[in-house]
Amino acid sequence: MRRTTARRAAAAVLGTVVGMAGLVAQAAPAAAEEEVPEFSFEACPELPEGAQPGLWLCTVAKITSGRLTLGGIDQEIHSPITIVYANGFDPITFEETVIVESLESEPIRVEGGILGIPGSDFLPIMQIHAQPQLAGELELSPEPDVLMRQRMKISVQNPLLGDACTIGTDEDPITLDLGLGPTNPPPPNEPITGSPPTDVSQDPWVVKTTMVDNSFAVPKSANCGPFGWFNGIVDWQSGLPSPAGKNTAIFTIYSASKGYTDLGAA
């Protein structure tokens, strides 16, 4: 899936790049025993026609752990979520373009299943799995305190719900403004803080950080069961819609980047 956006004037783009470079340069090195995920750059997007490879990076970002609280769903992330994207600059206008190639993840089993009661989901028909999906453009540093704006929806999987049941949609997504914090959420949530980028590998260049957001809202479910008959059940079980101040995203992310020149682009 590809979504392209031209975003910034030259001064804003250069300020973002310089600021991030300084942040990474000042970060302390990671402990030697840290286990860094493996990365492959085979899925990097093709560059737009006429793009200069020297002005483009491919990034593979892996969310390896953390937590996602959406209304009544409080789910630990225990399998990687991988996002592959490219970003580059127009050599004349310095406007940035971001191309998202894919978001890949394994379905995550939701504790308690349909009833929300631990241990009650021993039968497959009682189980619920959730799988994050992209639902719009990915934006890098769209605002001073936001490193990544990610629009997503959650596929809710159960034999009774069909193949199209989601929390959020392309038209009404869950929008995460991920940054380092401290956040400024409405109550009852309180401010939380992530951790700044830390170099953990040089070849490829890998940076580890923890990004957070607990100021976002979560919309109702959609397309659950024939004609949406089960939307109300999913909403009741999941506590949806959930207003800002009652939801939280905490993502520990390893990001590996390579220039397209290093990847062999001519």
> How confident is the model over 36-76, as pLDDT tens digits?
999 999 999 999 988 999 999 999 999 999 999 999 888 89
Instruction: Quote the tokens at residue 172.
Output: 């009404």
Q: pLDDT higher for 29 or 125?
A: 125
In angstroms, the first-to-last Cα distance of the chain is: 23
Dihedral Cα 28, 34, 35, 36, nearest 10 deg: 10
pLDDT reading at 223 higher than 70: yes
Instruction: Encode pLDDT of 158-212 as tens digits.
Output: 888 888 999 999 999 999 999 999 999 999 999 999 999 999 988 888 999 999 9
Radius of gyration of the chain (CA): 19
The answer to whether residue 258 scores a pLDDT higher than 70 is yes
What pLDDT sits at residue 113?
Answer: 60
Model pLDDT, residue 3: 42
CB contact burial 133-147 (16+ within 10 A = b; e otherwise): bbbbebbbbbeeebb
pLDDT tens for each residue of 113-124: 665 656 656 556
* Residue 115, pLDDT score: 56
Quick one: residue 5, left, alpha or beta (phi over 0 = left, psi -120 to 50 = alpha)?
beta
Q: Residue 69: its pLDDT value, please?
A: 94
Measure the CA–CA gap between 256 and 84, rounded to whole angstroms.
10
Q: At 24, is the pLDDT very low, low, confident or very high (cuts 50, 70, 90)?
A: very low
Q: What's the rounded Cα separation, in Å, for the pair 182 and 190? A: 9
- pTM of the predicted model, to two decimals? 0.82
Output the pLDDT for position 1. 43
pLDDT at 4: 41
pLDDT for 167: 96
Position 157 pLDDT exceeds 60: yes
In 3-state terms, what secondary structure has residue 8? coil
C-beta neighbour count of 28 within 10 angstroms: 8
Mean pLDDT of 126-147: 88
